[in-house]
Structure 1
Amino acid sequence: MWQQKVNDIMKLAGTRRVNGKVASERTQTLTKDVLYASIRRLHELGYKIQDPKNLGERHIEVLVKHWWYCQRKKAKTVQNDLSRLRVFCAMLGKPGMVGAVQKYLPDVDPELLKVRSAARTTKSWSGHGIDLVETFRKVDERDPCLGLMLRLELGFGLRREEVLKCNPHVQDYGHYLQVFPGMGKGGRWRNIPIVSNAQRDLLDYVKARVSKNKALGWEYSRSGQIASLEQNIRRYENLMTSFGFTKADAGITGHGLRAQFAENHALLLGMIPATMGGGAGQLDGADSGVVKAKVAQALGHNRQSVTSAYIGSFESSSALFPDSDQGIVTIQKALRILDAVALPEVPAARLEDCRFIQEMMAHTGLVLTADQAHMLFAKHARRHGVEWMSPGLETPLALRISAEAMLNDFLFC
């Protein structure tokens, strides 16, 4: 069978990357998945390949055209799948056989085939109108384990596999959560700093509900057997789909919580991401670079440029907040809406925080009441998955973002 032949080739040559480094299990699995799907597709199209060594340029061309014209795959997906085939063909001793995507789609506008790594719009759940506090509660009612995992994905930007393997008791080092070697992408470890009390609250909430000697993933499969990582991944994906946390249903994916973590982390460090309307002029180049470096490190990446996939690029953004007014006009518009609304009384435990917000905003020339401060900052806290969090230096930025979201809600309600 051709499947066994693919497996044999992968075992022989698929454990190393092109640069000589060991390929992760995830990389090997993804490559194999693309190969299986490609050969099955060729069979459906009439090309009954039984030996993968017989893959030729004609087959690659047929696949690429089918992906683009029939399956309507995005340029990035086509590029990724083609890259997997390119690597596999090199294993077969056919380096250079698989060309660039433009070679197979000469009639397509080259601009349409360009892969833009920078996010142009937010991928966050809050940015798609999802109230995380309420969503977590609903998930808890049906599957508490998934609810805990989603909280740590938001609070610490954990990937799916990282959160399934996470033992919050062991990985909590007080000022940071550590992703141990072998848990993250490519086996890399990282320390994720705890820079807000919202992160601490989420982490403590999770720790209070899990055993000290167990990971967050489901211990047993639905059949009662000890669950493997692969079974947990499938269960995670099935649950996410059943809740409607998909691109098709809600415009989001689980990875969107990681993107929201990146946005939140940038805000806490004093920068409004491009995906949230921030402009290039809010920080000088050096300070902006520092923030991006810290966001990248928290996400587990070494290159600053990777952050553009999560928080966008200022070069391609359209700033919502003019640097000249520091977003004050936006906040004032939101306050006029709040003036016409009977706001709830501020809980006594939050009054001191609200006074802090009032004093901080007074330095920008903005006057607001305690209940207005409470309403706007509570909206910011819910972005972080909690009902309230202590205000810090990010407060002016937080109020801008909340005000903009409130104006959008008002316009489209």
Structure 2
Amino acid sequence: MDKLGWDFVQQQKHNRDGSYATQAARSATLSLSARQLRELGYRNLRANTLGQRHLRALVQHWQTSGVSPATIKNRMSHLRWSCEKAGRAGVAKISNDDLGIARRSYVAKESRARDLPKANLDAVTDPYVRLSLRLQAEFGLRREESIKFIAAVADKGGHLELKGSWTKGGKAREIPIRTRNQEELLAEVHVFTQMRSLIPAELSYKQQLKRYEHQIAAAGLSRMHGLRHLYAQRRYLELTGKQAPAVKASITGQLLAGAESGWLGKVAIPSAETSITPPLSDREARLLISHELGHERIAITNTYLGSPNA
């Protein structure tokens, strides 16, 4: 390990920001970056001497290697984190545009929502995984959030408070408790887990994650991030009284097959469980949904809902 790699390791040792997944991705990116900078001829670098020209060299190398713009942006976020920890805030401020990274399209042209069919859920034999999946469906939680979830900590009566240590990027957030189904699910989780998370006492998070992946595959489930899409689309329908543009596009374009209620083909069509009067505007609804999903930018909702201009 060279000096830059050692600096990166020390930064992470003393700054455990973000969720387990974020820390793992950061570690992989920084280790790769240190090695590739050395291979590109940059010797004796330290974290506090890393400059914008080094970031440009990495970006150009990744682009030449065929790495996608989305992956490059994720890697740059980890490198900016390192620069800030090393007191190189000026270096960290370089934009993706200045680095020549292509802009990413966040607009969904059709719905990618997925439901949680009872037959598949019943095929999940691990009760911890089954409850995690139901939390994903009812509250739009990410996978890691649903596994680390502690009802005794999060349940505040009228809303959930997710701890930063459970969430992507370490950003705590609140999610409203709106329906009887949500209340009944939380009651089940309270009774089942008492004061613990949805990780068995004898397992680590990493071990339970592997069990989760094995269980959903065995039950014929996949792309469970689609549950988060369905949550966002259901909330949009409740808040505006209208189906999201991505849902409309899927229906109008005849991209779905069958007519079973709530489950058309492999893309779920949301139904409203609550409503508000008067309904919110598109922008107002997207702002609320963005916060509930744990995003800072309203534009990210285009991924879940489609373009507001559609």
Report the TM-score when normalising by structure 1.
0.54
CA contact (8 A) 1:5 1:51 kept: no
The reply to whether residue 84 of structure 1 matches residue 81 of structure 2 is no
The reply to whether residue 137 of structure 1 matches residue 115 of structure 2 is no
Instruction: Provide the residue aligned with 1:163 in structure 2.
Output: 146
Instruction: Provide the residue aligned with 1:67 in structure 2.
Output: 62
Q: Structure 1, residues 393-413: CA drift from partner, whole Å, max 9, x if none?
A: xxxxxxxxxxxxxxxxxxxxx
Instruction: Provide the residue aligned with 1:37 in structure 2.
Output: 32
Say if 1:115 and 1:8 are closer, same or farther in 2 by CA, change over 3 A: same
**RMSD over aligned Cα atoms:** 4.1
From the two aligned structures, give the one with the greater helix fraction.
Answer: 1
Alignment of 1:12-411 (within 5 A): 24=18, 30-42=25-37, 45=39, 47=41, 49=43, 51-53=45-47, 59-70=54-65, 72-89=66-83, 91=86, 93=88, 95-96=90-91, 100-101=95-96, 113-126=102-115, 132-139=117-124, 141=125, 143-168=126-151, 171-173=154-156, 175-179=158-162, 183-185=166-168, 186-195=170-179, 197-207=180-190, 210-221=192-203, 227=204, 232-233=205-206, 235-237=208-210, 239-240=212-213, 243-244=216-217, 252=223, 254-269=224-239, 270-277=241-248, 287-301=281-295, 304-315=298-309, 317=310
Report the CA distance between 1:156 and its aligned residue. 0.8
- Structure 1 residues not aligned, in runs of 5+: 16-22, 222-226, 318-413
Residue type at the aligned position of 1:137: D
Residue type at the aligned position of 1:34: T
Counterpart CA distance in 1 for 2:288 and 2:93 is: 37
Counterpart CA distance in 1 for 2:235 and 2:186 is: 16
Say if 1:170 and 1:237 are closer, same or farther in 2 by CA, change over 3 A: same
Report the CA distance between 1:314 and its aligned residue. 1.9
CA contact (8 A) 1:177 1:194 kept: no
Higher RCO (C-alpha 8 Å, min separation 6): 2
Residue type at the aligned position of 1:168: A
| Partner SS, residue 277 of structure 1 | helix
Bigger Rg, structure 1 or 2: 1
Q: Identity, % of aligned pairs?
A: 24
CA contact (8 A) 2:52 2:91 kept: no
Instruction: Provide the residue aligned with 1:323 in structure 2.
Output: none
Report the CA distance between 1:86 and its aligned residue. 3.8
Counterpart CA distance in 2 for 1:235 and 1:259 is: 24
Report the CA distance between 1:48 and its aligned residue. 7.8
Residue type at the aligned position of 1:258: R
Q: Structure 1, residues 281-320: CA drift from partner, whole Å, max 9, x if none?
A: xx999533343343234334566444333323222x3xxx
| Partner SS, residue 176 of structure 2 | strand
Counterpart CA distance in 2 for 1:298 and 1:93 is: 32
Say if 1:24 and 1:180 are closer, same or farther in 2 by CA, change over 3 A: closer
Counterpart CA distance in 1 for 2:94 and 2:287 is: 34
Q: How many residues align?
A: 276
